Amino acid sequence: MAATNDNGGDPQPIGVFDSGIGGLTVVRAIRTLLPNESIFYIGDTARVPYGSKSPATVERYSLEIAAMLEAEPCKAIVVACNTASSVALDVLRNTTSLPVVGVINPGARAATAATRNGHIGVIGTRATIKSGAYERAIRALRPHVQVTSRACPLLVPLIEEGWLESGVTDRVISEYVRPLLDANADTLVLGCTHYPLLRPAIQRVVGDSVTLVDSAENCALAVRYLLQAKRLEAPPDSKHELRVALTDLPDQFLRVAEHALQLDVGNPAICEIPHAPVAHA
C-alpha cells in the first residue's frame, strides 16, 4: 500500500531494475524529469546480460528482483530493461501489487511519431528482438509502418566493459546497423537501455538523417504520467535520494556511471537475491 505524508503524495522511492548498468540511463532520465523523486535501483550484475537468456529464465530473474523492490518498499516498479519488458511485463503486473512500467510501449510511441517515411529500425538484444515486442507495439499504433529489427548481442558486453569510445565498438555498431540503413529506415529505436550510453557513437555511424529514439527518455515520461494518474508523486518537501544495490560489483560499473552518466551512485550495496521457489507440475 502506498504511504502518504501530511503534505499529500507518496515519499516512497520508485523502484528501478535492470540486468546491469544500462538501467541507469533510465534513472538519469527520471531524475532529470522528476527531480523530487527518490529512486532505489537494483542492477542484477551477477547475471548480466539478460538478452542471451531464455524467456523463462528472464521471467524468473525479473520476479526475484521485483520482490526485492516490493519489500523495500517502493511505490512503483520500472522495468528498465527491454529484455525483461519484452518477456516478463505481464507476469510482473499479475504478480506484484505495485504499478509496473516497462520501456517497450513508450519507445514504440516515440518511434511512430518520429518516422517520416514509415520505416522504423529496431536494435536490441537477441531476446528482445526474438520476442517481436517492438513490432507488435509499433504496429498496434500504426499498422502499416514497416519495421526492420536487428539483434546486437555484442553491444551490452562492450558497454559493461566501458568501451564507449573505442574504434572496435564503432566497427561493431556499423556491422549491426548497416542492413537497417540499406533498407532505408529513417528512425532507429535503441531497444536496450544500455544503448543510450553509445548514442554519440551510433549517431556517428547512422548520420544525422536518422532519428534515434531513446527508450530511457520515453520511459521517464511514462513514469511521470503513471505517478500523476495514480497520485503517487512525491511531496514537495521530500528528501530525494538515489540508492543503488547490485548483485555483484563489476569493475567498470562505478566508472561508467560517473563518467558517462554523470551519476554519483555512492558505494552500491551488494544484495543477495532471494530466489523464487521453483514451481512443480
The CATH number of the structural domain formed by 104-215 is 3.40.50.1860
In the chain, the N- to C-terminal Cα span, in Å, equals: 32
Confidence check: pLDDT of 209 > 80: yes
pLDDT tens for 218-261 read 899 999 999 999 999 999 888 789 999 999 977 677 777 777 78
Contact 160, 48 (CB under 8 A): yes
pLDDT at 128: 94
Collapse the DSSP code of 253 into the 3-class scheme (helix H, G, I; strand E, B; otherwise coil) and give the result.
Answer: helix
Which band of pLDDT confidence, cut at 50, 70 and 90, is reported for residue 34? very high
Confidence check: pLDDT of 8 > 70: no
Collapse the DSSP code of 261 into the 3-class scheme (helix H, G, I; strand E, B; otherwise coil) and give the result.
Answer: helix
Which top CATH class is 14-102+218-270?
Answer: alpha beta
Q: What is the mean pLDDT of residues 178-190?
A: 97
Confidence check: pLDDT of 280 > 50: no
Residues 6+ apart with CB under 8 A from 175: none
pLDDT at 90: 95
**Other Cβ atoms within 10 Å of 15 Cβ, number:** 27
Q: Name the percent of the chain lying above pLDDT 70.
A: 94
pLDDT at 50: 92
Q: What beta strand segments (E) does 50-206 contain?
A: 76-79, 100-101, 119-124, 146-151, 187-191
Q: How far is CA 71 from CA 57, 97, 150, 201, 245, in A?
A: 22, 11, 37, 39, 14
Q: What are phi and psi of 246, to 5 degrees?
A: -125, 155
Residues 6+ apart with CB under 8 A from 281: none
Q: How far is CA 41 from CA 13, 82, 187, 229, in A?
A: 9, 16, 30, 23
**Nearest to 210, CA basis, from 230, 188, 195:** 188
Residues 6+ apart with CB under 8 A from 219: 26, 29, 30, 78, 80, 101, 102, 103, 106, 107, 193
pLDDT tens for 14-25 read 999 999 888 999
Confidence check: pLDDT of 141 > 70: yes
pLDDT at 139: 96
Stretch among 6-10, 50-54, 99-103, 117-121 having the lowest mean pLDDT:
6-10
Can you say whether the dihedral through the CA atoms of 206, 163, 66, 38 is positive or negative?
A: negative
Q: What is the mean pLDDT of residues 49-78?
A: 95
Q: Do domains 14-102+218-270 and 104-215 have the same CATH topology?
A: yes
Three cell numbers written together for 208: 544525422
Which band of pLDDT confidence, cut at 50, 70 and 90, is reported for residue 160? confident
Contact 119, 183 (CB under 8 A): yes
**Nearest to 249, CA basis, from 20, 17, 52:** 20
d(CA 274, CA 265): 23
The set of catalytic residues is 81, 192
Mean confidence (pLDDT) of the chain: 91
Report domain extents, the chain: 14-102+218-270, 104-215
d(CA 204, CA 72): 41
Q: Name the percent of the chain lying above pLDDT 90.
A: 75
Confidence check: pLDDT of 187 > 60: yes
